Amino acid sequence: MKRYEQLADEIALMIRTGVLKAGEKVPSVRTASRTFVVSPSTVFQAYYLLEDRGLIQARPRSGYFVRELATRALSEPAIGPRQADSTEVDVSELVFSVLGSLKDPNTVPFGSAFPSPDLYPLQRLARSMARTVRDMPPQAVIADMTAGNPDLRRQIALRYMISGVHLAMDELVITNGALEALNLCLQSVTQPGDLVAIESPAFYATLQVLERLKLKAVEIPVHPREGVDLNTLADRLQRLPIKACWFMSSLQNPLGASLPAAAKEALYGLLRQHQVPLIEDDVYSELHYGPQPQQPVKRLDRDGLVMHCGSFSKSLAPGYRVGWVAAGQFAQTISRLKLMTTISPSVPAQAAIADYLQHGGYDRHLRKLRHNLEMQQSAMLASAARHFPEATRVTRPDGGYFLWFEFPRQVDSLQLFQLALAQGISIAPGPIFSATRGFAHCARLNHGHPWDKRSEDAMAMLGRIVDSF
């Protein structure tokens, strides 16, 4: 990353966290140059970039100011209430009925789990694919099934190393997307009837997988910015025979919360103390807006207790279905489970991604992707401030492509979902994110698609429906 980009990211973080407030003047070029010990031209470049990102704007003869859009207009949701000790999970039907309704391509996809495929370098990937399948030695289509594509394994291990996580290569198991990795992780450490600690609200697939495997959920509330509540977790680990934790420690879905570094250390301490493995679902880690990625709990993992799951589906290659897990002491078990269920992800898909990682300009693509998602987040936040009731609360994650809205209490989000769908707009209603069907007045909205008049009109329509409750 260039110095001016770093500087821009630092200032963006100051805006995001409220150090610089809406309408406030950004430090002059001279001041910034002195403060950050960079040349004035670096400051200029950083300010141009921030202007381009929609975070600051120039006023004639007055310098740069923080834009209204760039700061919070609606307030932040509170942390959820404490949950019952453990819950049988029975939410799958509801999730499928919601997901089934998303299939119509004419629907405004606020309820979708996927960002727009137009944000991904599919043509460049296609060239990598064409080249690698043409040049692949026939033996590789067999050999790469059991062991995984060796170049891909090296590239993944390299990215871990660069981000400060040291892995033994044989910890890595390449999977059919992160969801297969998560399933296998859970199967490697649980039996039907066991208790698993999950977040509340949680990614709905987590709930479905628990239900399928007949596991019981111990729901731990998530703070909208600081992640899973460690006090509750400590209490539950003390009192209950929890067999595994399944957490998204960074950019949690649906809240976008990330555990601060110190909390990650505290979490790892708890896990070690109780010798409970962590399934760390980190599929959004590359979508951070801030200057640096969040470090995973995996970085602290001396005991091989953490199974760190990642994927290219959100960062590079949707539909290619290539993910992985760095599985610590559970790697062999998971690798064997995979050989008994799907054997391997598609060999050509692995090879294409390996080639792209080596030659395609992944980091350049990621910067562009993050920038687009951040712009779209600003647009959705601004639109929500215009159209939703003032009492609405909303998260403002430092990455990803989801916002979590907490509407006034009387709003029934399952009804909202139905009414919106009748108007050609999908949303992801709160209850699909909870084993206890909580969050009845909440919804997750996807801003992973380029913002346009249709998006704006859909937000206005949603606002009118919300008002009608």
Contact residues: a second copy, CB under 8 A: 92, 96, 99, 103, 105, 114, 116-118, 120, 122-123, 125-126, 129-130, 133-134, 136, 138-147, 176-177, 179-180, 183, 192, 205, 208-209, 212, 318-322, 336-337, 339-349, 352
Question: What are 339's two structure tokens?
Answer: 């050989």
CB of 408 to a second copy, least distance (A): 33
CB of 172 to a second copy, least distance (A): 17
Closer of 27 and 121 to a second copy (Cβ): 121
How far apart (Å, rounded) are the C-alpha atoms in residues 211 and 338?
20
How far apart (Å, rounded) are the C-alpha atoms in residues 200 and 223?
9
| 211 and 233 Cβ atoms separated by less than 8 Å | no
CB of 214 to a second copy, least distance (A): 9
- Looking at the DSSP bridge assignments, the partners of residue 309 are 281, 325
| 52 and 46 Cβ atoms separated by less than 8 Å | no
CB of 245 to a second copy, least distance (A): 20
| 444 and 462 Cβ atoms separated by less than 8 Å | no
Closer of 61 and 134 to a second copy (Cβ): 134
CB of 136 to a second copy, least distance (A): 7
Closer of 84 and 343 to a second copy (Cβ): 343
- Looking at the DSSP bridge assignments, the partners of residue 173 are 325
Closer of 203 and 405 to a second copy (Cβ): 203
**DSSP states along 44-87:** HHHHHHHHHTTSEEEETTTEEEE-GGGS-SSBPPPPPPP--S-E
CB of 113 to a second copy, least distance (A): 9
CB of 255 to a second copy, least distance (A): 22
Closer of 95 and 222 to a second copy (Cβ): 95
Closer of 120 and 324 to a second copy (Cβ): 120
Whole-Å CA distances, 256 to 85, 102, 203, 246, 400: 24, 22, 11, 16, 7
Pairing of strands 56-59, 63-66: antiparallel
How far apart (Å, rounded) are the C-alpha atoms in residues 374 and 220?
28
Closer of 77 and 360 to a second copy (Cβ): 360
CB of 117 to a second copy, least distance (A): 4
Closer of 27 and 109 to a second copy (Cβ): 109
Q: Within a 10 A sphere around the Cβ of 236, how many other Cβ atoms?
A: 20
Pairing of strands 323-326, 393-394: unpaired
CB of 98 to a second copy, least distance (A): 12
Instruction: Supply φ then ψ for residue 29, to 5 degrees.
Output: -60, -40
Instruction: Supply φ then ψ for residue 431, to 5 degrees.
Output: -60, -20
Question: What are 229's two structure tokens?
Answer: 């509540």
How far apart (Å, rounded) are the C-alpha atoms in residues 190 and 360?
40
CB of 86 to a second copy, least distance (A): 20
Closer of 70 and 202 to a second copy (Cβ): 202
Task: Tell me the longest C-alpha to C-alpha distance in the chain.
Answer: 68
Closer of 341 and 468 to a second copy (Cβ): 341
Instruction: Supply φ then ψ for residue 126, to 5 degrees.
Output: -60, -40
Q: Within a 10 A sphere around the Cβ of 194, how many other Cβ atoms?
A: 17
